[in-house]
Amino acid sequence: MSSLIQALDLGTGPKRVVVKDSIDIAGYPTRAGSAALAGVPAVERHAEIVERTLAAGYRIVGKANLHELAFGMTGLNAWTGTPENPRFPALIPGGSSSGSATAVAAGLAEIGIGTDTGGSIRVPAACCGVYGLKPTFGRLGRRGVMPAHSSLDCVGPLSADLDELIAFMTAVDAGFAVGEGAAMPSLCWLEVSADSAILAAVEACLVGAGLAGKKSVLPLMDEAYQAAMALINRETYAACAAWLDSGRLGCDVERRLRAAAETTDAELREAEAVRLAFTASVDRLLETYEVLALPTLPHFPLTRVAAEEGRQDLSVSSLVRPFNLSGHPALSLPLPPSRGRPVSLQLIGRRGDDAGVCRAARHLVVRYLVGTRPAEAIQTTGEAHAQPGR
């Protein structure tokens, strides 16, 4: 099923972890799922997150597959093979941390470590019906992670079980503590444009948990999405341009990199101005509320067939990418499926309050999801829809 590029056995703990192959593991090459890096030598030092994982008593059981160069949202990879989405096999696994998501969904590991530059933890988590946390920017160190420089990227965990995700964060981050018995954080429901079935599922969750609360609109969401696209394009091009003429890149990644080369300095200046304004608007809303709620995905994932025929869908990240720009912690939480298709709720917290986001998620699980069991293995109906209503 191609969730893992390579099986490993590092550490002695009972809890299993897979690590995205854009993160260094000493003694092994980091190829980022790309034939262009097939000949790179083994790295000499573990990435910081790998060191913390092993020191916390976890056992690393494999290098996880990914969308090539961590630069795509479908999770397809012609060189390493595309991981099958265990719970929704007719659909894409999502990217770029595809193997990290599919591995935990399939029960191959308790934790998948991924990276999230524009939704690359939360999108595959949503596609595969698991939990995925993008921590506050800079919370978990990025030493030993490709690309070496990013103003957007965060290392974070995925898991089929929220308590496993919380336990992992507690183990690798001494400042992270969710606590027990705390009151549900105050919540604001963000009004966004999304598929009506997805909005209905999110509303059912919040109302069912007694948390419908206040609704609000967050200014500059569309502008923040475009700004984050400009930044990821420039930063990824700077990191990967050396391989552009190798003849060994996948067609989709090569096309996207060539387009990224056209990003102008003026676009970057505008993106940074939007970053400041959007971050301030999120912070203002979070002065009143502790957590913001919205769908993770604006529409249902592509079918795998459609993606393999060449269809791309960067807009699937339109509700997640803005929070890479602002740096706020964001967690994707699976809800009961809609007609055999995955639905997830995204929770946004104050910068530095990653534990508050997880605490809110735990309250939602207890108040609404216990009994619906969204984390059980679910098969799709096999419908050939990719994005209903779009």
Residues identified as active-site: 20, 96, 120
Instruction: Quote the strand ranges of 3-110, DSSP E.
Output: 4-10, 16-20, 59-64
Evaluated on CA atoms 122, 125, 128, 131, the torsion sign reads negative
Q: Is the N-terminal amide bond of 96 cis, ω within 30° of 0?
A: yes
Burial (Cβ within 10 Å: 0-12, 13-18, ≥19) of residue 113: buried
Contacts of 213 (CB under 8 A, 6+ apart): 186, 187, 188, 189, 206
| Helix H or strand E encompassing 349 | strand 341-349
The residues facing 133 across adjacent strands are 331
CB 90 within 8 A of CB 307: no
- Exposed e or buried b for every residue in 216-236, given b needs 16+ CB within 10 A? eebebbebbbbbbbbbbbbbb
Torsion of Cα atoms, 376 then 140 then 286 then 293, to 10°? -20
CA-nearest of 132, 115, 130, 136 to 50 is 115
User: Cα(first)–Cα(last) distance of the chain, in Å?
Assistant: 30
